[in-house]
Amino acid sequence: MSGFVSFVSSGPGDPELLTVKAVNRLQAADAVLFDDLSSGPILSHARKDADLVGVGKRAGRPSPRQDHVSQLLVDYASTGAHVVRLKSGDCGIFGRLEEEITALRQAGIGFEIVPGVTAASAAAAAASIPLTRRLTARRLQFITGHDVTGGLPEDLNMAALADPEATTVVYMGKRTFAALAERLLEAGLPPDTHALVALGVSTPEQSLACHTLGKLPEALRKMDTKAPVLILYGPLADEDLPR
């Protein structure tokens, strides 16, 4: 028997940001393998008799190995079950989607991808600003703040990241942003470049704060939070940024 896997994007945390398709897949699933950030009220859409299995990864906490998560997906689907792999944000953005797809393809198991709201879009909406601006921010780029070792990636394109006419969003960058900021300043990005820090976007713990590139590393160092941290910098709409 071979089941089917739906990779479902849960959005950044607010259940109202789920798509209709995401809700439909949750209601039909025999099993839901969910990320830590996709738990709570979002799981209320799952069937009462569905297996709910937490497989999330959080920085600095014990987490299941990726190969174990991938194998668990294969094992459930191999029983003929309809499985939802519930991923936070949009599952195609820094969500380890490729490894899990590879495991399903090797096992001959069908799948689909249900896109959703990524944290960058939710953060900009919460701050009442656009991610792009017609004259000053024609390009938008997403990067991860750490590599598989937990450190700042060594192969970053600094010319692109220091482009003053691009909006850059750094996912999972709290611990490494000081090193990134140093390289950005060396590459010529002005220290007074606008920066926005978004914590726990779209959740009850949401917090937004405006900084500059030069002062942000110290602000992050003093920040004591377990909520996901997202950093946006570039030609943001200064007059609308939260103070």
**What are the catalytic residues?**
35, 57, 172
- Cα–Cα dist 171/158, whole Å: 16
Hey, what amino acid is at 50? A
HSE, side-chain direction, 13 A CA sphere, residue 90: 12
The conformational region for residue 94 under phi > 0 = left, psi -120 to 50 = alpha, else beta, is: left
CA distance 180 to 216: 11
DSSP annotation of 83: E
Tokens 């079950």 found at: 81
Residue with tokens 């691009």: 166
Longest CA–CA separation in the chain, Å = 59
